[in-house]
Homo-oligomer: A and B are copies of this chain.
Amino acid sequence: MKNDMNEYLIKAESRILAHLQTNRVSKTIEEASSYSIKAGGKRFRPYLLFAALESLGADLEKGVGAAAAVEMVHTYSLIHDDLPAMDDDDYRRGEPTNHKVYGEAAAILAGDTLLTESFHLITLDTRLDPKQKVEIISQLSEKAGQNGMIGGQMLDIEAEGKNITFNELEDIHHYKTGQLIVLPIKIACIIAEASDSVMEPLLEFGDKLGILFQIRDDILDVEGNLETTGKETGSDARKNKMTYVRTYGLEGAKKELDKLTGEAETILHSLADEIDISHLDRVLQRFAVRDK
């Protein structure tokens, strides 16, 4: 690997925090919005964006602003999802959730801030031209919006406590989490000016990755603990949520994880002559966590 990925993840985080520090109006908003960014997390979406850029042979510096924006949107969604009116979670990434520290009003506004400022940050990016910025903002708002993450979150809330079909479960994940995982790959393709013949399989790879991510999350909810996942184990079951584990059983879910990992590998290998797939393959191996 040419570039130190960690260095770029730190750059993206620094870009976010520097932007939030330009707040001249409200100390509370600055602290509350920074709090959830500083709480950490896997930075999976920025990582994926940089890995895709690297696979496409593009300059990773050009991705710092967009990676920051995607992580801001992801973080805003966690703050709002954790609210008492939504999932009502007290812990996130092992720390008290935003509203537990700053109160509900500030948490709602901190989420609104991260969402609004993610778009502002992209407009200020000095490494991208106006056409690229518009395309990135279009993708970000589409995949985070009514036909993406927000739509999926509403489906998820409405499904709670109900018996939903497996297709409905897949729909929820496709919209709620899947769209924001395809997004970094799509943005990398915009920045790297990738051809359709490369972009289309990569987006399909992103779709598989989104499902893989969710199955792994469901498995960790059963097998993990507060220390490794930052969430309380068994919270899905307590909330009577439909999950892959509930549908397939623990072993079945792991088998499904294996199957999808294989399919994602096949897609990647079909691109081996055109791009350097090793970086995206590393993402897959890092996040798929096969049953050994």
Please report the C-alpha to C-alpha distance between residue A24 and residue B147 in the assembled complex, in whole angstroms: 6
Contact status B117-A145, CB under 8 Å: yes
A82-111 CB contact bits vs B (8 Å, 1 = yes)?
A: 010110000000000000000111101101
| Max count, chain B CB within 10 A of own CB: residue among A23, A112, A141, A142 | A112
The B-contacting residues of A in range 130-157, CB under 8 angstroms, are 130-131, 133-135, 137-138, 140-142, 144-148, 150-155, 157
A214 beta carbon closer than 8 Å to chain B: no
CB of A189 closer than 8 Å to a CB of B: no
Q: Is the CB of A113 within 8 A of B25?
A: no
Measured in the bound complex, the distance between the Cα atoms of B148 and A109 in whole Å is: 12
**Chain A 15-35 per-residue mask, 1 if CB under 8 angstroms from chain B, else 0:** 000001011111011100100
| The residue from B22, B112, B133, B152 contacting A115, defined by CB atoms under 8 A apart | B112
Residues of B within 8 A of A24 (CB): 147, 151
> Are A146 and B26 closer than 8 Å at their CB atoms?
yes
Chain B: which residue is nearest A153 at the CB level? B109
How big is the A interface, by class?
35 or more
A108 in complex: contacting residue of B108, B119, B134, B147, CB < 8 Å: B108
Instruction: Let me know if B138 and A124 touch, CB within 8 A.
Output: yes
State whether B83 touches A29 (Cβ < 8 A): no
Among A85, A103, A117, A119, chain B packs the most CB atoms within 10 A around the CB of A119
Q: Are A141 and B123 in contact (CB under 8 A)?
A: yes
Q: Is the CB of A119 within 8 A of B141?
A: yes
A254 at the binding interface (Cβ < 8 Å): no
Secondary structure of the A side of the interface?
helix
Does A116 sit at the interface, judged by CB under 8 A?
A: yes
A120 within 8 A of B: yes
A181 to B7, CA, bound (A): 41
- Do B109 and A150 have beta carbons less than 8 Å apart? yes
Give me 18 other A-B pairs in contact (C-beta within 8 A), A83-B108, A85-B105, A109-B154 excluded: A22-B146, A22-B147, A23-B151, A25-B151, A25-B171, A25-B175, A26-B150, A28-B154, A30-B146, A112-B112, A112-B150, A113-B145, A117-B141, A117-B145, A119-B119, A119-B141, A124-B138, A137-B137
Give chain A's interface residues, CB within 8 Å of chain B: 20, 22-26, 28-30, 33, 80, 83, 85-86, 103-106, 108-109, 111-113, 115-117, 119-120, 123-124, 129-131, 133-135, 137-138, 140-142, 144-148, 150-155, 157-158, 171, 175
- By Cβ-Cβ distance, the 5 closest A-B pairs, closest first, are A25-B151, A85-B104, A123-B138, A120-B141, A130-B130
**13 pairs across A/B with beta carbons < 8 Å?**
A23-B146, A23-B151, A30-B146, A80-B109, A85-B103, A85-B108, A106-B157, A109-B150, A117-B145, A117-B146, A119-B140, A123-B134, A123-B141
